[in-house]
Chain A
Amino acid sequence: MGYNNPKPLRFVIVDDHEIVLDSTARVVQHRYPEAEILQVPTANQALDLVEADIPDAMIVDLSIPETALVDSFSRARVEVGIQLLTILMERFPTLNIMVQSAHGQALVRLKPSILAHQGGFTIADKSQSMEDMLTKFDWALKGLNYLPPEMRSGLELKPEWLTVLELAFQRGLQDRVIAEEMNIAQRTVRHYWSKIQDALGVYPEEGKNVRIQTEIRAREEGLID
């Protein structure tokens, strides 16, 4: 997740609209002056870049063409973006991804994969402000999760997440001990927390303790007694 990474941060942005690509890159560069930003317009090029060297975070537009060739594959299609995300999440389970999309609905069927994805995964609505986009990008870079309201149907949790909540807030255990209890890696526990926070709608806010916010929300929802 690269906070103390001596290597400069490396981002990949995939978008077939040059203007959008440029402005997104400019805003991100402004926030992270040290970062190396790679811009590509097609899915295949993006996959090549990630394969060569996994970036710290990716910004993916959902409607992109498959190849740069001038043929039927060069049209921008939502299906291509979905396929790219599928492959990325399958082969790089810890990759931090921010999806820029106008079609939240199209991503619903990817939800099982998103819920299993261990890296950051956020979705930014294109019609929202640049500031909003940067926030979502920050969260993705930190390994956090954010799904827009239209992708949610009620409160959805994986059984393991509930176990984490119970161990943390009923028995007051630390992440390290929770990992031992559940026989999983500590990193996985952190990944579960990120998912739980997104499910409960708890996001970083100035002056608020995320863990305590999570406990409050969990009690509100009756997940813990």
Chain B
Amino acid sequence: MMDWWRIGQLSRWPVGLVPGVLVLAVVLATRGMGWWQGLEWKALDASLRSRPTEPLDDRIVIVGIEENDIQQVGTYPIPDRHLTELIATLERYQPRVIGLDIYRDLPINPGHEEFRKVAENLDSLIAIEKLLPPAVVGPEYLPPERIGFVDVVPDGDGFWRRSLLGAATPDGAYHLAFTLRMAERYLAQEGLSLENGIRNPVAMRFGTIELAPLTPNAGGYVNADMGGHQVLVNYRSGSDPFRRLTMAQVLNGQLEPDWLRDRIVLIGITAPSVKDFANTAAIISDNPGLVFGIEFQAHAISQITSAALDNRPLLKVWPQPVEYGWIMLWGAAGLILGRLLPKPLKQVLVVGGGNLVLLGTGFGLLLWQGWWIPVVPALAVFTINGVVFPLFYWYDRGLRSRIQERQLVIDNTFSAIHNGPLQTLAQVLQASRDPSQISPALSSKLQDLNRELRRVYTLVSQEALVHEAQVYLNYSQGIDLTLPLHQLFYQVYTQTLEQDMLGFQTLKVRLIEFEPMDDRALHLEDKRSLCRFLQESLLNVGKYAVNATRLWIICKPITSKLGKLQNMVRVADNGHDTCSASFDGDVSDVCGHGTQQAKHLSKRLRGQFQRYPNIPNGTVCELIWPVYREGVWPLRPMSWSEKGKERPTDSF
């Protein structure tokens, strides 16, 4: 079984499978190295962007301080007095929770004392801090549970796809994110409190939904910084997912009270000059790739509240083994399709169809349950295998058909010669039997011409044979290795015996047996080696046998004592062995250069090679090997000799 990995056996893989398996291996390896991260991110962005518009999330209202508002106020940062006024106005509409996404680490007068009093007393107000350097502390006069951090960890390409929900600071304190604090406050009144996960103990849980922390290799990520508790952001699709008001609109009362009552109100800067931007490609916005920071916070809050209250899916990823299994599955599918479909047009259609199915599945799973699956690598292996494999196949086919064409031309040419000049010649030759018609000298010239013309065909047709499938015994002609084994051996024998060798000259009779053998487990290379073995054995007779009159060549199937089917090649003579007679030791070490090769061959075929004296005179050289070898299945189809038993339709 181990032998499957030996070099000699590797070449027995169907050649076309090698590039396909290689492609799959390369894609799996490079994915592990992170080369596919960027493409998988882009695919996720594109899928999220392509979703149909979701209804407005009216639980969240964004109150933006616009460019106009800043000009109205006349100074920046916005002084505490103006924020107090805004918050007090909003409070009149009784929102459930107010989030102030503006740093207030320092008092900004005028109006700080008043702001501080309002903030302290307004329990529904949540303020922000920033943990990562440069750190910004929250308002010191507010208790920690009313402060949340706004840190975000961008991906390698600068875009924001993850939301950080909780993180420990170096001093060991565990801080919660602004978004989580907002959602927690809102959901608390719905009877859903923040708990530890049930399915995943390290997850955060509201009721039945669990926010599991991402791992460094989750989804398309490879070795990402997943510090703290991070989750993917399932951006709400559509160009206007949340209600927006400006500071001026709120102060002037240009709004429906219902918009704010019992809602989440987020106060943030929406002035481009302040540059509080979030990078995202997952949502459609006026400014491609950019949304305001406050909008990103809104999406991150919305995905938690919508999941808990509306069962809107959160983004999920498959376990690693499932992802890699999925990619391998598509790689294999590509390989199989490439093999099944011999027509290039069908190939393109089916691979195209397969691509659509894959894209559809990826998009469908994302829409339905928020699954982010590896679409791009699967697409790559499927398409490359579905196209690369057939390319190899077509190359091979092309080569074969060119050779066939050549053979066709040769056959046609010869048919023309055969049907024309040769027929005429045959008639002339018949007539030439009458000496009165034609002189004997001319007659014999005509015979020569006849033979010469026929030789042309034999010579030319040999040229056209595929070289790989031939064995050359250093004589004039190659032998077609695809012939059945006994026919092959017969030709090796006749060609070898044509050699002018001393041992052959005294031969009176050759006792031969060439019977059909089951050679389906043999590959061309094995057959080539067997031919060389027979040649070598015969040449040894020619070289070392003196006064041999009889030569035995037996090539036939036999049955072992244990009933196993075996094939045998035996060459024996009755001459004096000049080689072994002059050495005392093991004759096989000295005589016959081919002995080592014969031993290797017999080992490869799991057979037995023997060289022993023939009684009373001569030497026997014998190779016996089993028809079926363990671990090697007959890969080739049945040979023609078996086909002949069925009605031949195309066997000619």
Which A residues fall within an 8 A CB radius of B? 17, 43-44, 47, 63, 66, 72-73, 75-77, 79-80, 83-84, 86-87, 90-91, 102-103, 105-106, 108-113, 115-116, 126-130, 153-159, 162, 221-223
Contact = CB atoms under 8 A, between A and B. Distances in A.
Main secondary structure of the interface of B (DSSP, over half): helix
B648 A153 contact: no
A221 B652 contact: no
B511 A159 contact: yes
B36 interface: no
Interface stretch (B43-51, B77-85, B188-196, B425-433): B425-433
Given A17-B423, A154-B509, A223-B509, 5 more contacts: A77-B415, A86-B641, A129-B430, A156-B509, A157-B512
A105 B641 CA distance: 21
B426 A77 contact: no
B433 A112 contact: no
Contact of A154 (B429, B510, B640, B645): B510
A87 B640 CA distance: 9
Contact of A222 (B419, B508, B513): B508
Interface stretch (B294-302, B322-330, B373-381, B487-495): B487-495
Contacts of A105: 454, 458
A69 B458 CA distance: 27
B82 to A, nearest CB: 93
A154 B648 CA distance: 35
A109 B490 contact: yes
Interface in B455-498: 457-458, 483, 486-487, 490-491, 494, 497-498
Nearest to A73: B652
A122 to B, nearest CB: 18
Given A83-B652, A86-B644, A129-B430, A155 B510 contact: yes
A153 B494 contact: yes
Interface centre among B433, B457, B641, B652 (most CB of A within 10 A): B652
Contacts of A128: 430
Main secondary structure of the interface of A (DSSP, over half): helix
Given A109-B491, A112-B490, A126 B426 contact: yes
B610 interface: no
Given A154-B510, A158-B512, A222-B508, A109 B487 contact: yes
Contacts of B483: 109
B651 A83 contact: yes
Contact of A156 (B411, B422, B510, B516): B510
B457 A127 contact: no
Interface in B415-446: 415, 418-419, 422-423, 425-426, 429-430, 433
A159 B513 contact: yes
Nearest to A19: B423
Contacts of A83: 640, 648, 651-652
